[in-house]
């Protein structure tokens, strides 16, 4: 009787273990791939799935997007500049059966092919293109990876260059180039400003020549601007050429007056007047 009870208990335990081993749960973001005696049976959708213990093997495959960093690669660009480029790739499994059967480790395979593709694509571009045309480089890398991974049941959704490290000598050269470019733009802008200012001054001078009172109004405006600063010295602006002309006329008048006075003094005869006491006075 005791042996019979022991056997019943053992059988019950074996049944419980078998049931536990036969119950599998496939999560919502996964898809199961079922093998029976090593042969493919087919995919299994998410949910509670029953398999035959020791006969069936269920491989869960995640269908979520995977973020894979591509480690920095030492690359020589087309114009013979050595740069270190790192990137990041996003991919997801679209065919669970192919991802299990066609390749042993899909993650490692994509990592390796992404590194070689990154080195190949960047090496076909110059340094300036690598720095300025990253969108086109990202698209080229993605297209190459899609062609290689379609047989593995994997779709590459996005590839982005993450970091580009330049040599120190190249950084200094680019800094000098950028500084020279800024100086060139500053000189061009300064020259354009001088040209516009000269044209405006020419128009203003034409207006003042046509309207003389405009110059006097400008002088009064200058006095107002000087008075704002509360200066102790007041400057009265005057037209330079007219001032010089008036000064020359004044000197000419003074010189003529002095000459006529000298002539009048040299030609006048003295007048003799008699005094009451018999003396004479010379005038």
Tell me the per-residue pLDDT of 6-22, one tens digit each, with 9 for 90 and over: 788 888 888 888 888 88
- pLDDT one-digit tens code per residue, 128-164: 888 888 899 999 999 999 888 989 999 999 999 988 8
Q: Cβ(62)–Cβ(83) under 8 Å?
A: no
pLDDT band at 92 (very low <50, low <70, confident <90, very high): very high
pTM as predicted: 0.59
Residue 259, token pair as written in the block: 């000459």
Instruction: Provide the pLDDT for residue 238.
Output: 53
Mean pLDDT value across residues 34-41 = 90
Q: What Å distances lie between residue 96 and 47, 63, 147, 152, CA to CA?
A: 16, 8, 18, 9
Element (H, E) at 50: strand 47-50
SS3 118: helix
Q: What Å distances lie between residue 77 and 71, 116, 165, CA to CA?
A: 18, 14, 13
Using the predicted structure, report yes or no on whether residue 212 has a pLDDT greater than 80: no
pLDDT band at 208 (very low <50, low <70, confident <90, very high): confident
Residues 151-176 as b/e (b if ≥16 CB within 10 A, e otherwise) read ebbbbbeebebeebebeeeeeeeeee
Instruction: Provide the pLDDT for residue 68.
Output: 92
Distance, in Å, from the CA atom of 23 to the CA atom of 78, rounded to the nearest integer, reads 58
Quick one: angle between helices 134-149 and 106-123, nearest 10?
Answer: 140
The angle at the Cα of 271, spanning 267 to 275, to the nearest 5 degrees, equals: 165
Q: Which of 33-42, 156-165, 254-263 has the lowest mean pLDDT?
A: 254-263
Instruction: Provide the pLDDT for residue 69.
Output: 92
SS3 64: coil
Bridge partners, 34 (sequence order):
42, 58
Average predicted confidence (pLDDT) for the chain: 81
Number of H helices, E strands in the chain: 8, 10
């Amino acid at each position: 009787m005791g042996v019979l009870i022991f056997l019943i208990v053992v059988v019950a335990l074996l049944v419980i273990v078998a049931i536990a081993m036969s119950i599998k749960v496939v999560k919502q973001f996964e898809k199961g791939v079922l093998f029976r005696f090593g042969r493919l049976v087919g995919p299994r959708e998410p949910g509670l799935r029953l398999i035959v213990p020791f006969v069936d093997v269920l491989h869960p495959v995640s269908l979520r997007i995977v973020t894979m960093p591509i480690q920095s690669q030492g690359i020589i660009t087309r114009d013979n500049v050595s740069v270190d480029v790192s990137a990041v790739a996003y991919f997801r499994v679209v065919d669970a059966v192919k991802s299990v059967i066609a390749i042993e480790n899909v993650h490692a395979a994509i990592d390796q092919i992404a590194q070689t593709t990154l080195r190949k694509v960047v090496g076909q571009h110059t340094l300036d293109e690598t720095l300025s045309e990253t969108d086109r480089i990202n698209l080229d890398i993605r297209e190459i990876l899609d062609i290689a991974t379609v047989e593995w049941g994997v779709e590459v959704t996005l590839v982005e260059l993450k970091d580009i490290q330049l040599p120190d000598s190249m950084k200094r050269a680019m800094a000098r180039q950028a500084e020279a470019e800024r100086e060139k733009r500053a000189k061009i802008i300064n020259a354009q400003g001088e040209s516009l200012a000269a044209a405006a001054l020419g128009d203003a001078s034409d207006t003042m020549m046509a309207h003389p009172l405009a110059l006097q109004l400008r002088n009064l405006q200058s006095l107002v601007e000087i008075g704002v600063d509360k200066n102790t010295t007041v400057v009265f602006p005057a037209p330079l050429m007219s001032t010089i002309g008036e000064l020359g006329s004044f000197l000419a008048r003074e010189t003529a007056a002095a000459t006529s006075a000298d002539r009048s003094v040299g030609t006048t005869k003295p007048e003799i007047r008699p005094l009451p006491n018999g003396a004479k006075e010379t005038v």
